[in-house]
Chains A and B, each alone.
Chain A
Amino acid sequence: MASLHLEHLTKTFGNQTVTRNVSLSVEDGAFCVFVGPSGCGKSTLLRLIAGLEEASSGRIMVADRDVTKVPAYDRDLAMVFQSYALYPHMTVRDNIAFSLRTAKRPEDEVAAKIAEAARILKLEDLLDRKPAQLSGGQRQRVAIGRAIVKQPKLFLFDEPLSNLDAELRVHMRVEIARLHRDLGTTVIYVTHDQVEAMTLATKIVVLRAGEVEQVGSPLQLFDDPDNIFVAGFIGSPQMNFFKAKHQGGRLFATDFPDQSCQAPALSAALAEGQDVTVGLRPQFMGLEGNASLELMIEVVEHLGSETLVHARPPGSAQMMTALVADGRNLAPGQAFVARFDPDRLMVFDATGKRLR
Chain B
Amino acid sequence: MKPRLTLRWIVFAVAVFVMNFPVISTLVTAFKSPGEVSRNPSLWIETPTFENFATVLTTSDRLNIYNYLWNSTVAAGIGAVLPIVVAFPLAWAIVRRGVGRAILFPLVVNLRALPLIIFAIPIYMMFSVAGLLDTRLGLGLILAVVNLPLALMLLVNAVAEIPHEIEEAAHMDGARLPRLLFRIVLPLCRPALITTFIFGFITAWNEFLFGLMLTTSKAVPMTVGASFFFATSGGGVQWGVAAAVMVVAALPPLALGLVMYRRITGSLVAGAVKG
The stretch of A11-19, A127-135, A247-255 in contact with B is A127-135
A52 to B175, CA, bound (A): 13
A85 and B270: CB pair below 8 A? Answer: no
The stretch of B63-71, B133-141, B165-173, B246-254 in contact with A is B165-173
Option from B171, B173, B184, B190 in Cβ contact (under 8 Å) with A146: B173
Option from B169, B170, B271 in Cβ contact (under 8 Å) with A133: B271
Q: Does B18 contact A (CB under 8 A)?
A: no
A84 to B272, CA, bound (A): 7
Contact A50 B271, CB 8 Å, known A85-B163, A89-B187, A102-B179: no
A85 and B174: CB pair below 8 A? Answer: no
Q: Does A6 contact B (CB under 8 A)?
A: no
Option from B165, B171, B270 in Cβ contact (under 8 Å) with A73: B171
A100 to chain B, nearest CB (A): 9
Number of interface residues of A (CB under 8 A): 34
- The digit string for A117-153, where 1 denotes a CB below 8 A from any CB of B, is 0000000000000111110100100000010001000
A283 to B207, CA, bound (A): 80
A7 to B174, CA, bound (A): 25
Q: Does A330 contact B (CB under 8 A)?
A: no
Q: Does B95 contact A (CB under 8 A)?
A: no
Q: Does B118 contact A (CB under 8 A)?
A: no
B175 and A82: CB pair below 8 A? Answer: no
B166 and A87: CB pair below 8 A? Answer: yes
A176 to B175, CA, bound (A): 26
Query: Who on chain B is nearest to A98 by CB?
Result: B173
B172 and A88: CB pair below 8 A? Answer: no
A136 and B271: CB pair below 8 A? Answer: no
Option from B165, B172, B270 in Cβ contact (under 8 Å) with A72: B172
B165 and A130: CB pair below 8 A? Answer: no
Q: Does A39 contact B (CB under 8 A)?
A: no
Q: In the complex, which residues of chain B have a beta carbon less than 8 angstroms from the beta carbon of A85?
A: 163, 165-166, 168-169, 272-273
Q: Does B97 contact A (CB under 8 A)?
A: no
Q: In the complex, which residues of chain A have a beta carbon less than 8 angstroms from the beta carbon of B183?
A: 98
Q: Does B123 contact A (CB under 8 A)?
A: no
Q: Does A263 contact B (CB under 8 A)?
A: no
Q: Does B269 contact A (CB under 8 A)?
A: yes
A87 and B169: CB pair below 8 A? Answer: yes
- The digit string for B155-193, where 1 denotes a CB below 8 A from any CB of A, is 000000001011011111111100100011001101000
Query: Who on chain A is nearest to B269 by CB?
Result: A88
Q: In the complex, which residues of chain A have a beta carbon less than 8 angstroms from the beta carbon of B268?
A: 88-89
B residues 217-275 with Cβ under 8 Å of A? 268-275
A103 and B169: CB pair below 8 A? Answer: no
Contacts between the two chains (Cβ within 8 Å), count: 92
Contact A71 B165, CB 8 Å, known A83-B273, A88-B269, A132-B271: no
Q: In the complex, which residues of chain A have a beta carbon less than 8 angstroms from the beta carbon of B163?
A: 83, 85
A131 to B172, CA, bound (A): 19
- The digit string for A25-63, where 1 denotes a CB below 8 A from any CB of B, is 000000000000000000000000011100000000000
B271 and A77: CB pair below 8 A? Answer: no
Q: Does A99 contact B (CB under 8 A)?
A: yes
B175 and A73: CB pair below 8 A? Answer: yes
Q: In the complex, which residues of chain B have a beta carbon less than 8 angstroms from the beta carbon of A50?
A: 168, 172
Q: In the complex, which residues of chain A have a beta carbon less than 8 angstroms from the beta carbon of B275?
A: 136
Q: Does A78 contact B (CB under 8 A)?
A: yes
A139 to B165, CA, bound (A): 14
The winner among B169, B176, B179, B275 for most chain A CB atoms within 10 A is B169
The winner among B174, B268, B270 for most chain A CB atoms within 10 A is B174
Q: Does A163 contact B (CB under 8 A)?
A: yes
Contact A87 B184, CB 8 Å, known A82-B274, A136-B274: yes
A146 to B271, CA, bound (A): 16
Option from B170, B172, B174, B274 in Cβ contact (under 8 Å) with A87: B170
Q: In the complex, which residues of chain A have a beta carbon less than 8 angstroms from the beta carbon of B184?
A: 87
B25 to chain A, nearest CB (A): 45
Q: In the complex, which residues of chain A have a beta carbon less than 8 angstroms from the beta carbon of B188?
A: 88-89
Q: List 12 A-B contacts (CB under 8 A).
A: A51-B171, A52-B172, A72-B171, A77-B172, A78-B173, A83-B274, A85-B163, A87-B170, A87-B272, A88-B188, A132-B271, A156-B172
Interface, chain B (partner A; CB < 8 A): 163, 165-166, 168-176, 179, 183-184, 187-188, 190, 268-275
Interface, chain A (partner B; CB < 8 A): 50-52, 71-74, 77-79, 81-89, 98-99, 102-103, 130-134, 136, 139, 146, 150, 156, 163
Q: Which 4 A-B pairs have the closest CB atoms?
A: A132-B271, A131-B271, A83-B273, A85-B165
